[in-house]
Amino acid sequence: MTIPFEQLKQEWMKDPAFKAEYDALAPEFEIAAELVKARARAGLSQAEVALRMGTTQSVVARLESGQTLPSTKTLLRFAEATGSRVHVRLSAA
């Protein structure tokens, strides 16, 4: 029997140590999600974005999965490749 991921996540989130680690990764997940949305909005494949950025599809995949945090320069190249703009905002905690 397979347990749905959301059910597992709810159980894991009851553990304070797990929740703290999960919450600490939220900004990285947010960046990755924004990259995926930008590419989807542009109607491009990872390979097409990579070609426009002058890199490889595997680099784009790592960026979109959150495995690699992009530098500002990389974010700007990704934005240009997808016809997007980068906005940076710091909010009160």
| pLDDT, tens digit (0-9, with 9 covering 90-100), for 48-77 | 999 999 999 999 999 999 989 999 999 999
Q: Is residue 91 part of a domain?
A: no
pLDDT of 39 > 90? The answer is: yes
Q: Is residue 57 part of a domain?
A: yes
pLDDT of 3: 85
pLDDT of 5 > 90? The answer is: no
Determine contact, residues 12/18, Cβ cutoff 8 Å: yes
Q: Is residue 28 part of a domain?
A: yes
Determine contact, residues 85/79, Cβ cutoff 8 Å: yes
CATH number, domain containing residue 38: 1.10.260.40
pLDDT of 46: 98
Q: Is residue 6 part of a domain?
A: no
Domain containing residue 33: 15-82
pLDDT of 34: 97
Q: Is residue 40 part of a domain?
A: yes
Total domains present in the chain: 1
The whole model's pTM is what?
0.81
Q: Is residue 90 part of a domain?
A: no
